[in-house]
Structures are given as C-alpha cells and as structure tokens.
Chain A
Amino acid sequence: MGDKVIGKNKKQDSLSGLLKRQSRIAYLFILPVIIFFTIFTIIPLVMSLVLSFTDYNMVNKMDFVGLENFIHALKDKYFIGSIKNVLLYTIMFVPIAIFSSLLVASLLDNDLRGKKFFRAIYYLPALTSSVATAFIWQWLMNPSYGLINQILNTIGIKGVEWLNSPKTALFSIVIISVWGSLGGNMLIYLAALRGIPSNIYEACKMDGANFFQKLVFITIPLLRPTTYFILTMSLIGSFQLFDIVYLLTGGGPVGSTTTPVHQIYMNAFGEFKGGLGSAMSVILFFIIMTITLLTQKLVKENY
C-alpha cells in the first residue's frame, strides 16, 4: 500500500514538473506579445487616463486639472451629439450590414455559374482604401451632378441632398459603410455556409422546403455563432467609425455626422487639447466596453 502512495506522488511530481516546464515554454511563445502588449497598449491606455486629468497641449504643457476635462467633455454639445450620432448609426448600420451580407452569401452559396465573378465584385469595396471610397461616393452622392441623383431624376424622383443635408448625411454614411463592409462579412458567411453539412439540406429538400424556408429554418439558426461574431465586430467597428466621416463630411453638416473618434481627433490634433481628447477617449472606451459586455450577456442569455 505504501508503495502505491509513493508511486502516486511520483506521478504527480512528474506531472507538475511537466506543467512547469510547459508553462515556461508557453511564456516564451507569448512573451514578446505580452511585453509589448504592455508597452504599446497598456501603458498608452494608462497614459491616456493620466493625460485626461491634465491640460496637455500636445507639446510641453502638462498640469493637473482634476476632472475639468471630463466635465468639459460631457458639456461639449458636439461630443454629446457625436455619441448620439454613433448610436443612431449603429442601430441603422449593424442590422443592414448583417442582413445584406447574409443574403448575398446565401445567394452565392448555390451552384451557380459566374460565382467567382460575383464574389469578386462584392469583395471589391473591401479592397478599396477609405480615401478611394470617399472619392467614389463623393462623386456618386453629389447633389447636382452625382450619378445617383442623375438616375433618380431619369426615373422621375427628385434628387436627394445626401451628404449635404443634416437630415440625410448620417444615413448616407450608413449606405457607404454597408457597401464597404458587405464583402468581408459575406466571405465569413460563405465560409460558415460551407461548414453546414449538405445532408441537412438534402433532407430538407426531400421534405419539399423551398429556398426561403431553408434560409429561415436551417441556415440562419445554424449560422448563429458566425452571426454573433459579425455582430460583435460590426458593433465595435461602428463605435470606432472615423475614416469615412473624416474624409467625406468632416463631421458636418452642422455636426450631424461627427463621431466620438472624430471629436477626439479634432480636439487633440486640430486644437491641441490633448487632455480633453484623452478624457473623451476614456469615456468612449467605457461606452464601447459597456455595450460589448451588454450584447455578450444578451446573446448568451438567448443562446
């Protein structure tokens, strides 16, 4: 009996030894990332936090001012407006982006001729840099000579002001973002669709289900993890909206398209109020974190 106990201990010893050695090697693998994760992300984050309590002017001045920046940020009507804008944008953009990419992917998942061609067309915007995207849409959405209004005029609809009117500007940005994000999401959906075993579809066809029944009862439920991934990515992405706004509207007209990141940029690099910009960054960070955690909780409850 005594032998057995010793044997057991030995086994445990060697196991923990192995674990120890393993963890040493593991740290070796992730060490560079962890160290520089600290240097390039954690420290800047902390610096952001510290700067948010100062009146840093991007050059030399850096005095402690307490909560002044936060109060200033929360009273700033453009910053508050930008949060409203980004919420409105998210509510419009996320469902449209998910729905359209799912639709296109399920259309392309059929046995079709020219599948690769269509896939390339839809993916094209994902390869287009935001600068080029901005120029293309600036021209498409021009109220007087833009292509969209020309087409609308020929079918007898009065042209829309698009980016030039505070009423339609944000929605125009949504359209542009959907155009840009469709390809990437479509590819992810296509890959997920390939993962669904074909015998499920065959069984479903035997029972006489049509394309749309298949989509609603088989495809969408089975794609739930993928949709969750795309949802999270789109949510985070839409709260970080910047490029298109910066390049196309500069936040206007009358602040109707400005976003928090744009406000941060304008304050920090336009007006050299690094402290205020940092305070806004901190606020935005907490907003995104709250929303991500909230959706995660919601999704988990319904899963």
Chain B
Amino acid sequence: MSMKEKCEALIKALKKINYIRLKQKVKKRLLGMQLTDGILIKVIIYGMLISLGFVFLYPILYMVITSLKSDEDIMNTSLKWIPNLLEFKNYADVLKALKLIKTEKFILNSLFQTTLIAGIPAICTLISASLAGYGFSRFRFPFKNVLFALMIATFIIAPQILAIPRFVWYKDLNLITISTDTPIGLFDLKGYWLFYKPLLTYILPALLGQGINSALFILIFWSMFNMIPKSLEEAAKIDGASNIKIYTKIAIPLSKAGFIIVFLFSFVWYWNETYLANFYFGQSNLATLPMQLQRYISGVVNPNSGQLQRMLFQPEKMAATLIIIIPLLILYFSLQRYFVESIDRSGITGE
C-alpha cells in the first residue's frame, strides 16, 4: 500500500467518524437522550397541542369577531374576519337584554342573582358534604358500610328522575312561587321571603347533602379526610380537644385544597344548571344567566323567524353566549393554581 492510498483511507475513515458524530448529534438533538427530551418529540407534542387547541379556540375567536360585526358586515358574505367597524353596541344591547345592567332594581340584576343562586347552595353543599365525609372517614359505627354504599348509590340516580316527586313536594310546601312581585323598600321582609322562596328548592337539598352531585363531594371529602394521619387526631385528643374542635382546627385547615375544589365544582354546576332552574324558578322572578340567555334568544328567534332575521341576530347571539361564559372564566383564572393540586390531593384520582 502506498503512502497516498494510506492517506486516502485515513481521510475516508475520519470522514466516516465525523459523519457518525454528526448523525449522533442530530439524533440527540431531535430525539433526546436519557434525561432530556429531543426537539422532535417537543415539536410533535406542541403540534398536537396546538392543533387540538385550535379546534377549541377557533370557534371562540370566530364568535368574538362575529359578535363585533355590524348589520352591514353580517350581510356582506365576502367579509369573513376583519369587520369594517367594531360594533360594541351589540354588547350594550345584550348586557341590557340579559339583565346585567340597567335593571329596575338591583336584586333583579342577573349576575347578582346567579351568584346567589349558585353561591349559597355551593356553600351549603360544602358544609354538609364535608361533615358527612368526616363522619364516614373518622368514626366507626353500626351500619356504616350500608349507609355509605347507599349514599354513593345516589350518584346513579339521574337528578331528572327525582325531579318529578321533588317537584310535587315543593309544590305542596308552597315553595314554587308564581308571582312577579319584587320587595318594596329595604325592610319589606315578607317581600324578600316571597322573592327568594324558590331558592329554598336548591338550598334545602344542598344543606342536607342532596344537592347536585353531593354524593361525589362526600366521596371526595371522605378520601381526603382519610389521608389525615390518625396520630394527629390522637395527639389533639390527648390535649383535650373535642371532636368538633378536631374537625374545625385540624381537618379543615389540612384539607383546604379540597374545600376549594368542591366549592368551585359545586358553584360551576349550580351556575350552569338550567334544567332544574327552569323547573323551580321558571315562574318566579329568580333567573340565572343561562336562563336569561335562553329567554333572550328564544324571544328573538323562534321557529317561525326567517333566514334574514336569524342572520341579523347572529352578532347579538354570539355576544350573549360569550358574556355568560366570562364570569366563570374569571373565577377559573383566579383559582387555577389550586386546580390540579386540589384534585391531586382530593384523592379522586383513585390512589
């Protein structure tokens, strides 16, 4: 072998080594090695997330745009994305129609009403479900398992099924008001009682552990209180704490996360409930935002209305739908840092 040949072979070998190194480097960057993820995996993950997110976000974006269109822009079919002028009047109209602003009386304001209608039962659910969960978790007593199984079994009963007998009941108890009077003056106690009486159809079951999805919440509290070490409780007992004190001073502070998540879920479910709400509040002055939305839209568009009317109503319809999502969205963003953590600690993940 001549010198030249040797050199060529060497160069060839070096090139090959370089190539392999480069290949490895690229592979490392793209696919990742050992403890870090590669770019390729990241790109795939982002790609999937973004394309899925797009499916979720695109309709919302389109709704926002449509809600800001004026009548002329709506009729102009060539115009899809950017309206000629932003018509905020739609929103002003809708806010008024949904009774969010300019109601005759403050207690008729739908945001205030919905907050009450969702908030009070949610707090009641919180109290009753946590008490029951604590009872089932911390004590031994006869028939415990039977009672617990029964409680959980209520979950499989559709609320709509219980609605018939409960409705009969509430009617007999005179809780379902058919009146459109509002209290006169600040001290018209009778007026207030008549006005808010239908709300009892929500409060009573909630306070007594039979509200919307109460069984689930009892289960959540049960599994969360199970996680509190017995030794803590024993130590408190030796120090002479009563059971109520242990519950308020140890159990509640240690399961704050669960209280937040249960309140939030309960609040959202009550807020969005329309079936029962229509049922119980339909003939009274109380109305939730979703009910107002339903009334507003079916008031303008009905099966008899023509294509033109439907088209011209699009912006208002979109604006109204967006508006009723916003309050809960704000609530979510302000509490979102608790979300995953709370569910993790609440034990519904089944560990």
Q: Give me the interface of A with B, judged by CB distance under 8 Å.
A: 19, 22-23, 25-30, 32-37, 39-41, 43-45, 47-48, 51, 58, 103-104, 107-108, 110-112, 116, 118-132, 135-136, 139-140, 145, 147, 179, 187-192, 194-195, 202, 205-206, 210-211, 225-226, 228-229, 236, 239-240, 242-243, 246, 261, 264-265, 268, 274, 277-278, 281, 284-285, 288-289, 292
Given contacts A40-B210, A120-B333, 9 further A-B contacts (CB under 8 A): A29-B135, A33-B208, A107-B45, A128-B328, A135-B297, A147-B58, A187-B343, A229-B350, A281-B158
When chains A and B are docked, how far (Å) is the Cα of A48 from the Cα of B168?
11
When chains A and B are docked, how far (Å) is the Cα of A187 from the Cα of B247?
28
B interface residues, tally (CB under 8 Å): 91
CB distance from A263 to the nearest CB of B (A): 11
Q: Which of B135, B159, B161, B210 contacts A36 (CB 8 A)?
A: B210
- Per-residue CB proximity of B47-78 to A under 8 Å, as 1/0? 01100110011111011000000000000000
Instruction: Please determine whether A124 and B325 come into contact, CB atoms closer than 8 angstroms.
Output: yes
Instruction: Please determine whether B317 and A274 come into contact, CB atoms closer than 8 angstroms.
Output: no
When chains A and B are docked, how far (Å) is the Cα of A205 from the Cα of B37?
9
CB distance from A225 to the nearest CB of B (A): 3
Instruction: Please determine whether A261 and B161 come into contact, CB atoms closer than 8 angstroms.
Output: yes
Between-chain CB contacts (< 8 Å), 20 pairs: A29-B134, A29-B247, A37-B210, A44-B165, A47-B168, A58-B168, A123-B332, A125-B56, A127-B328, A129-B290, A129-B293, A129-B324, A135-B297, A188-B343, A192-B349, A194-B340, A195-B349, A225-B351, A240-B159, A261-B158
Given A30-B131, A128-B325, CB of A23 within 8 Å of CB of B139? yes
Instruction: Please determine whether A112 and B46 come into contact, CB atoms closer than 8 angstroms.
Output: yes
When chains A and B are docked, how far (Å) is the Cα of A34 from the Cα of B135?
11
A122: which B residues are within 8 A, CB to CB? 52-53, 56
Is the contact region of chain B dominated by helix, strand, or loop, or is it mixed?
helix
- Per-residue CB proximity of B88-128 to A under 8 Å, as 1/0? 00000000000000000000000000000000000000001
Given A129-B274, A194-B344, A236-B155, CB of A27 within 8 Å of CB of B62? no
When chains A and B are docked, how far (Å) is the Cα of A124 from the Cα of B56?
8
Instruction: Please determine whether B35 and A205 come into contact, CB atoms closer than 8 angstroms.
Output: yes
When chains A and B are docked, how far (Å) is the Cα of A187 from the Cα of B344?
9
Given A26-B135, A107-B49, CB of A131 within 8 Å of CB of B294? yes
Determine if B268 is an interface residue (Cβ-Cβ < 8 Å). Answer: yes
A36: which B residues are within 8 A, CB to CB? 204-205, 207-210
Instruction: Please determine whether B350 and A292 come into contact, CB atoms closer than 8 angstroms.
Output: no
Determine if B348 is an interface residue (Cβ-Cβ < 8 Å). Answer: yes
Given A40-B210, A243-B274, A281-B164, CB of A33 within 8 Å of CB of B128? yes
When chains A and B are docked, how far (Å) is the Cα of A35 from the Cα of B344?
31
B53: which A residues are within 8 A, CB to CB? 118, 121-122
B317: which A residues are within 8 A, CB to CB? 135, 139
Determine if B224 is an interface residue (Cβ-Cβ < 8 Å). Answer: no
When chains A and B are docked, how far (Å) is the Cα of A35 from the Cα of B147?
11
When chains A and B are docked, how far (Å) is the Cα of A63 from the Cα of B155?
31
Determine if B156 is an interface residue (Cβ-Cβ < 8 Å). Answer: yes
A277: which B residues are within 8 A, CB to CB? 164
Determine if B271 is an interface residue (Cβ-Cβ < 8 Å). Answer: yes
Determine if B248 is an interface residue (Cβ-Cβ < 8 Å). Answer: no
Determine if B160 is an interface residue (Cβ-Cβ < 8 Å). Answer: yes
B297: which A residues are within 8 A, CB to CB? 135
A32: which B residues are within 8 A, CB to CB? 128, 131-132, 207-209
When chains A and B are docked, how far (Å) is the Cα of A104 from the Cα of B42?
14
CB distance from B166 to the nearest CB of A (A): 5
Q: Which of A43, A118, A128, A191 contacts B49 (CB 8 A)?
A: A118
Instruction: Please determine whether A211 and B41 come into contact, CB atoms closer than 8 angstroms.
Output: yes
CB distance from B36 to the nearest CB of A (A): 9
Given A41-B210, A246-B275, CB of A127 within 8 Å of CB of B161? no
When chains A and B are docked, how far (Å) is the Cα of A104 from the Cα of B41?
15
Return the chain A residue nearest B129 by Cβ: A33
Given A32-B128, A107-B48, CB of A127 within 8 Å of CB of B329? yes
Chain B stretch 13-54: residues in CB contact (< 8 A) with chain A: 31, 34-35, 37, 41-42, 44-46, 48-49, 52-53
Given A30-B147, A192-B351, A285-B161, CB of A210 within 8 Å of CB of B41? yes
